[in-house]
Homo-oligomer: A and B are copies of this chain.
Amino acid sequence: MMAGLYLCRMNTPKSFRRLVPDGDTHEREVCATCGFVDYQNPRIVVGSVVRHGGKVLLCRRAIEPRRGFWTVPAGYLELNETPEDGARREAREEALAQLKLGELLAIYSVPHLSQVQLIYRAELLDPGAGAALFGVGEESLEVQLFDWDELPTDDIAFPTVHWMLGHEREVMARGYTGPFANPA
């Protein structure tokens, strides 16, 4: 939030105030001069649990928060992007991997971070011509396929990554019956 640091549309600096606009129910940063409302809303995280040859692909984060810890390819959905395209883009960026997306594995709500996460099941696509199946993207320190019984459980970056790995196990064991939500 950059409240108080804007110029408004009439070029008068620092005219933002926190108030409930007419007809609204929440406080917003509103420019007292021009009426512009600076809405702030939760963000959508898109990502995937990527399988290959009975293993699962994880990336060790090169960036904060949780640099050095393991996660799945995931990140913020971009403007004008579908969640499926966003999940594929994140795997390209973080693991230099092409995905075949499957079902929506889970929808997690993380209200204290103002996030909703849409997590897909996926498999690695073979790019052919002897090219590598995956690599280390700019936001990753390492990218690796893990056996399901050798996951880096103590070095997982975020609680939702534990959730989605557990939910993927459930699907592998019992079949897919619709997306999971936050565990109880």
List residues of chain A with CB under 8 Å of any chain B CB. Answer: 2, 5-9, 11, 13-14, 23, 25-26, 36, 39-44, 63, 76-85, 89, 93, 104, 107, 109, 111-112, 114, 116, 118, 138-139, 177-179
For A80, the chain B residues whose CB sits under 8 A away are 42, 111-112, 114
For A39, the chain B residues whose CB sits under 8 A away are 76
Measured between alpha carbons, how far is A13 from B8 in the docked complex, in Å?
A: 11
Residue among A36, A79, A178 with the highest chain B CB neighbour number at 10 A: A79
Indicate which residue in B11, B23, B41, B83 contacts A79 across the interface (CB closer than 8 Å). B41
Measured between alpha carbons, how far is A82 from B42 in the docked complex, in Å?
A: 10
Flag if A14 contacts B23 (CB, 8 Å): no
Indicate which residue in B2, B25, B42, B111 contacts A6 across the interface (CB closer than 8 Å). B2
Given A79-B114, A80-B114, A41:B44 Cβ within 8 A? yes
Flag if A5 contacts B5 (CB, 8 Å): no
Q: Give 14 A-B contacts (CB < 8 Å), ordered by A residue.
A: A2-B6, A2-B36, A5-B7, A6-B7, A26-B78, A41-B76, A41-B77, A41-B78, A41-B79, A42-B81, A82-B109, A82-B111, A83-B116, A104-B107
